Amino acid sequence: MADKRASSRLIESFLEMIAAERGGAKNTIEAYARDLADYAARLGASGKTPLEATSDDIRAFLTWLDKRGLTAASSGRKLSSIRQLHRFLVGEGLRRDDPAAIIEGPRRGRGLPKTLSIAEVDHLIAVSKEGLDDGARPAGERLRALRTASLIELLYATGLRVSELVSLPKSIARGREPLIPIRGKGGRDRLAPISSAARAAISAYRALLEKTQPGAAAGPWLFPADSESGHLTRQAFARDLKSCAAAAGIASARISPHVLRHAFASHLLQNGADLRVVQELLGHADISTTQIYTHVLDERLKSMVRDLHPLADDED
């Protein structure tokens, strides 16, 4: 029991640091807590806490996860949590050594991100705008369609995370600047581009919202929720996006808000954007996260060599 309490106190201190110093989101902190609770429980079965854990203990934990059928991705995430906990313990002077430092993560193939072609996104946007000017449509139905069209235009123009998108303040609608301020993960601020088409879609949506639902329009959110206070949920947007995609002939399994974020990044790189610029626009803290898109750069380089090199064989 004492070991369990000691482990809980160590983990609690680590989570407090994540929240205070790194601005960790609630979901992030909860994920760390789950991962480390599993780790502490396995250590506790041997009468140990993270202060006494060895590299062999961590390897045994990973083996246990593998036997339970966890994917390499899930095991890798838990190992990442363990590494950060042990770095914290060393940094706080609670341990002199880091048993996780020499542990290799489970090998896994990194799949390419799902995305859509430029033509598919163009078609999706066109379908989302169909019938928006039809005055015969019920106001509620037209408002929802305008909202979906605005969200799609805005997401593809900015590459925002869906949580950032649905929680935008209504002050965005009043601005005329080509860039909008975004508060991202870990409290990091960045600027995101917004196209004239996205601004026009937002203006049309907000005009109808203020006319038909002035109470909702008076709130602080650009996209207020349908039936309760607060902003539109990620789940509600994902549902409306899939409905719009179905009308555009795009399979449900191929579309999500995250897929449109991937499309934003992939299409920028296809058209010559620098990887570091895309990293900044996506709000990635580390370039390694953005490097999932290097396949796009590889294809672009192959095309450049094929099209521009004087010795390239046209038939190849």
Average of per-residue pLDDT across 54-78: 89
Active-site annotation holds for 284: yes
Question: Residues 174-201: pLDDT tens digits?
Answer: 878 888 899 887 778 899 999 999 999 9
- Given 86, 231, 267, 284, the catalytic residue: 284
Active-site annotation holds for 123: no
Tell me if residue 222 falls in helix, strand or coil: coil
Predicted confidence (pLDDT) at residue 33 exceeds the cutoff of 80: yes
Q: Which span out of 58-72, 174-188, 284-298 was modeled with the highest average pLDDT?
A: 58-72
- Given 22, 48, 123, 258, the catalytic residue: 258
Among the residue ranges 256-260, 278-282, 311-315, the one predicted with the least confidence is 311-315
Average of per-residue pLDDT across 17-22: 80
Tell me the C-alpha to C-alpha distance, in Å, between residue 79 and each of 16, 35, 100, 114. Answer: 19, 8, 8, 26
Tell me if residue 250 falls in helix, strand or coil: coil
Alpha-carbon torsion angle 122, 192, 188, 12, nearest 10: -20
Active-site annotation holds for 267: no
Parse the chain into domains and list their residue ranges: 1-92, 118-308
Question: Residues 157-169: pLDDT tens digits?
Answer: 999 999 999 999 9
- Given 185, 190, 234, 300, the catalytic residue: 185
Tokens coding 71:
């994917």
- Given 39, 156, 205, 293, the catalytic residue: 293
Burial class (CB in 10 A: 0-12, 13-18, 19+), 19: middle
State what percent of residues in the chain have pLDDT above 70: 89
Question: Residues 90-103: pLDDT tens digits?
Answer: 999 999 999 998 88
Predicted confidence (pLDDT) at residue 72 exceeds the cutoff of 90: no
- Given 206, 261, 262, 267, the catalytic residue: 261
Average of per-residue pLDDT across 141-152: 96
Tokens coding 262:
């991937």
State what percent of residues in the chain have pLDDT above 90: 54
Q: Which fold has domain 1-92?
A: DNA polymerase; domain 1 (1.10.150)
Contacts 24+ apart (CB under 8 A), 280-287: 280/190, 281/158, 281/159, 281/190, 281/192, 281/193, 282/159, 283/161, 283/164, 283/182, 283/184, 283/185, 283/188, 283/190, 285/185, 285/186, 285/188
Cα gap 278→256, rounded to integer Å? 20
Active-site annotation holds for 293: yes
pLDDT at residue 305 in the model: 45
Q: Which span out of 23-27, 40-44, 73-77 was modeled with the highest average pLDDT?
A: 40-44
- Given 95, 161, 170, 242, the catalytic residue: 161
Beta-carbon contacts of residue 15 (< 8 Å; ≥ 6 apart): 24, 29, 32, 33
Average of per-residue pLDDT across 292-311: 56
Active-site annotation holds for 309: no
Active-site annotation holds for 258: yes
Cα gap 241→201, rounded to integer Å? 16
pLDDT at residue 53 in the model: 92
pLDDT at residue 87 in the model: 93
Mean pLDDT over each residue of the chain, to the nearest integer: 86
pLDDT at residue 103 in the model: 87
To the question of domain 118-308 being in CATH 1.10.443.10, the answer is yes
Contacts 24+ apart (CB under 8 A), 15-19: 17/88, 18/84
107 pLDDT tier (thresholds 50, 70, 90): low
Predicted confidence (pLDDT) at residue 129 exceeds the cutoff of 80: yes
Percent of residues in the chain assigned helix, strand, coil, to nearest 5: 65, 5, 35
Written as one letter, the residue type at 235 is: Q
What are the backbone angles phi and psi of residue 179, rounded to the nearest 5°? -125, 145
Predicted confidence (pLDDT) at residue 293 exceeds the cutoff of 60: yes
pLDDT at residue 88 in the model: 93
Beta-carbon contacts of residue 125 (< 8 Å; ≥ 6 apart): 149, 152, 153, 156
Q: Of 226 and 120, which is predicted with more confidence?
A: 120
